[in-house]
Structure 1
Amino acid sequence: MEGTNSSGKSKRKYNKIYVMQLATIFIGFVIFGFSENIKGPAIPRIQFDFLLNESQLGTLLALNSLGYLLACTFTAYLTRLWGIRWVTVAAFAVMAASGVFIFGSQYYPAFSASYFLMYIGNGMLEIGLAILGARIFVKNTGTMMNLTHGFYGLASTVAPLMATGLMAVTVNGHTLDWRGMYLVVLLLSVIPLAIAMFTTFPGDEVRHEERIPLKRLMRDPVLWLMICVLTFGVVSELAVGGWLVNFLEKAYGWDTVSASGMLSAFFLCFALARLLLGPLTDRIGFTVSLILFSSFSAACTFVAIFGGEKLAFFFAAGGVGIAMIYPTVMAFIARRYPRESDMAITFTVTVMGVGSVLGNYLIGGVIELVKGMVGAETQEGLFRGLQAGYGVIALCAALSAASGIILYGLLARRKEVI
């Protein structure tokens, strides 16, 4: 009887810990989705307040992606030093602090530094949540990875409209505007921070000598091809949050509410795909899934760009395909490198971060280049520039699919298709 009671208590304790682990991951992805995608409606106002042109805006987004990249490079070291729990706590703390600093920033240098800090928190959080998922979801990996990332999609769906609503809220005669909106949203990080502080996470007990060294991992061409799939896919995914509202407002003259609604529709498709299609990735295989979904996203985005305003809904439909890239790559890594998942994820996401920096800069640069060629001060020049810039987003999805095809060929020859 005593043994049975002990077993029951142990099981209840395990269940409580597992529930708290899940809560940290799921709520963490909600916060991550908010912080990444409230920028859509805010960017035109930030651009107006600080008098930025499209090229400067692209540079701002690229520099902040550099903060994300910087966080990726040191998060793996901190994970080995502190353990994944305290890295996760630190990530949430940095994000909450950045909200306070953004709210207080009245000049561009202070705002830029605060925004940079937020992206450092984002980078730490993304690595932390990916490592947690790889350690916890040992069964139905594709389904669970997509489900947790689906909460990122749900938050992203709500984020643009929530941001638009919050910016109009008045408190004691003062309108929150974009600064107050960032403060309110980023302070929500305190909730998962508190949960993470009172639970434990698996994997920190694995000895470093039991793992394959990073240098050996870097010699694996499969990892590099997976990096290509992920980099092109994520550049395409993240660029939508930064550029779709801008495109619809300036190319088609949509108001902010309508443009934000289209961005929300994109993320609704994005979220539903992750919530409903995860089991499909386990069934047909991760590699085939990556090829099919990235191809679908590229096709939808090209149709939306060149089909005109009447086919703008294809911007939203593209979310179905691009949504599946990141969690499926994480599931692939967790399955292929079970003991080295933290190193493989950190290295992959770090290299991907370089692509994000270059991608945002390239989009802004292409817009300015084509505008100048067609007519910098004309509506036609602006329209063609925005078309060309958004074409880079579609091209990245197509290159993700092409990388997936090459990856499949390599794995098929080795008989290692996952």
Structure 2
Amino acid sequence: MKNQRVNLILLLFVVFGGFFIFGLSENIKGPALPVMQSEFNLHESQLGVLLSLNSLGYLLACTFTSSLTNKIGIKWIGILAFASMALAGIFMFLSKAYITLSFSYFLLYLGNGILEIGLGIMAARIFTKNTGTMMNLAHFFYGLSSIGAPILGASMMGWNVMGGELGWRGMYLMILSLSILPVIPSLLGKFPEEHQHDGKTTSYRNLIRDPIAWMIVAILSFGVVSEISIGSWLVYYLENAYDWSLKKASGMLSSFFLFFTLSRLFVGPITDKIGYILSIMIFSAFSGLCSFAAIFSGEKGAILFAIAGIGIAPIYPTVMALLAKQYSKGVGTAITFTVTLLGISSIIGNLLVGFIIDLFNRVWGHSSGGNDVIGLQAGYVFIAALAILCSFCSMFLYKTLRNRNKVVGKEKGSELGF
């Protein structure tokens, strides 16, 4: 019993610590992007291409992580992910051109993709009770690190190290080096194997033919692309639309992640009580409406950008809980299928935001005296609309599952088990 408790602590450190570092690695790019744009003289569309190349690395990882897990085990998948992220930090530090920068981001998101699939499989095997609550709690650590990531990143770039400024390269090197820390409990812990179930195991062929699986993909794609677009573009929006300083804009992004994190800490039990899909429907609509209100109320309503984090936060972990219950006979396959398609959506989404901003600036910005705000507003309207679409898709899925008497998420009990 004591050994089991110690092992559980080690595994929780890997899962929670993994999400914590994941949040750091993804959200320090907010304050770094404007500096990179200035240094490499990039257009907004090139930033969109850069972020899409990141998603391509993420997508590639999603295609092989599940099968690789079956071959080498979930323990070594996690170790591989952490090592890839640390290596990306080294290449980031050495980047001197746009091409090498793109490769570094590609490698980082390759590691992130492996880590995300790996952590999803780990969590599904560990949290067999109160899945919605525990999935949201695990992702709470992602939000926790994301709160401080923009301010930490902006601050570290200005640190004086060895007579010079640390800059974005040194900042990435130092933060991504933290990825080595979870490797220690990974080596010491004993990871649970996939639970065995009677009946037909989930396969990619079955998922492709399953309309419910495609609806879940749509929900996750609209919700998460909206989420990551906020993390990528909010600082840029506030700096250029309202002439905010980097520090002030980064502070608003941190406020977004504060609401984001608190939501994941407290919303989990609600998802288990009222159902996963109904929860997604309500919270995604709230996020989209907050973003629309923030755009059209101007600078005085900027706080609504941050408050939108309350609604967008539960979507990803709650969908993971839904997958764990809906496809318990092969959850690794279901997660890989869903997150792989999410990766494709992320590539398209990042491209669209950048090109929408450019398009509106070129077509309508010049006719309004060279005002670039219209392009920024159009890009953010697209981000807000994605959250609303997530809510509509959830409504459709809820009706479909209710008609089939398959609505999941209303659980009882408080036991954690393997």
After TM superposition, the score normalised by the length of structure 1 is: 0.95
Deviates more, 1:140-149 or 1:211-220: 211-220
Rounded Cα–Cα distance in structure 2 between residues aligned with 1:39 and 1:392: 21
Name the structure 1 match of 2:40: 50
2:125 to 135, 144, 148: 135
Mapping of 1:230-249 within 5 angstroms? 230-249=220-239
Amino acid at match of 1:355: S
Q: Percent identity?
A: 50
1:279 to 259, 263, 269: 269
Q: Compute the displacement of 1:81 (Å).
A: 1.1
1:250 to 240, 245, 262: 240
Rounded Cα–Cα distance in structure 2 between residues aligned with 1:288 and 1:207: 27
**1:154 lines up with 2:144 in the alignment:** yes
Name the structure 2 match of 1:179: 169
Is the Cα–Cα contact under 8 Å of residues 80 and 204 in structure 1 kept in the other structure? no
Q: Which runs of 5+ in 2 are unaligned?
A: 409-418
Q: Give per-residue Cα distances to partners, 1:189-235, cap 9 Å, x unaligned.
A: 01012221221211258599973322113222111111110000000
SS at match of 1:375: helix
SS at match of 2:193: coil
Name the structure 1 match of 2:4: 14
Is the Cα–Cα contact under 8 Å of residues 372 and 381 in structure 1 kept in the other structure? no
**1:403 lines up with 2:402 in the alignment:** no
Rounded Cα–Cα distance in structure 1 between residues aligned with 2:78 and 2:6: 19
Query: How many equivalent pairs are there?
Result: 408
2:361 to 326, 347, 371: 371
2:303 to 306, 310, 313: 313
Name the structure 2 match of 1:390: 380
Rounded Cα–Cα distance in structure 1 between residues aligned with 2:68 and 2:380: 37
Is the Cα–Cα contact under 8 Å of residues 217 and 338 in structure 2 kept in the other structure? yes
Rounded Cα–Cα distance in structure 1 between residues aligned with 2:403 and 2:195: 36
Is the Cα–Cα contact under 8 Å of residues 125 and 194 in structure 2 kept in the other structure? no
Is the Cα–Cα contact under 8 Å of residues 153 and 268 in structure 1 kept in the other structure? yes
Q: Which runs of 5+ in 1 are unaligned?
A: 1-10
Q: Compute the displacement of 1:74 (Å).
A: 1.0
Name the structure 1 match of 2:20: 30
SS at match of 1:196: helix
Rounded Cα–Cα distance in structure 2 between residues aligned with 1:410 and 1:234: 22
Q: Give per-residue Cα distances to partners, 1:308-353, cap 9 Å, x unaligned.
A: 1000100000000000100000000111111311000010000011
Name the structure 2 match of 1:348: 338
Q: 1:412 to 1:210 in 2, by over 3 A?
A: closer
Is the Cα–Cα contact under 8 Å of residues 370 and 381 in structure 1 kept in the other structure? no
**1:88 lines up with 2:78 in the alignment:** yes
**1:61 lines up with 2:51 in the alignment:** yes
Q: Compute the displacement of 1:112 (Å).
A: 1.1
2:405 to 409, 415, 418: 415
Name the structure 1 match of 2:322: 332
Is the Cα–Cα contact under 8 Å of residues 89 and 177 in structure 2 kept in the other structure? yes
Q: Compute the displacement of 1:266 (Å).
A: 0.3
Deviates more, 1:102-111 or 1:231-240: 102-111
Q: Give per-residue Cα distances to partners, 1:331-383, cap 9 Å, x unaligned.
A: 00111111311000010000011110000000001000000112359775310
Amino acid at match of 1:283: K
SS at match of 2:328: coil
**1:193 lines up with 2:183 in the alignment:** yes
Q: 1:372 to 1:94 in 2, by over 3 A?
A: same
Is the Cα–Cα contact under 8 Å of residues 197 and 329 in structure 2 kept in the other structure? no
**1:122 lines up with 2:126 in the alignment:** no
Name the structure 1 match of 2:251: 261
SS at match of 2:308: helix
* Structure 1: 4+ residue segments shifted above 6 A: 207-210
Rounded Cα–Cα distance in structure 2 between residues aligned with 1:223 and 1:235: 18
Is the Cα–Cα contact under 8 Å of residues 202 and 331 in structure 2 kept in the other structure? no
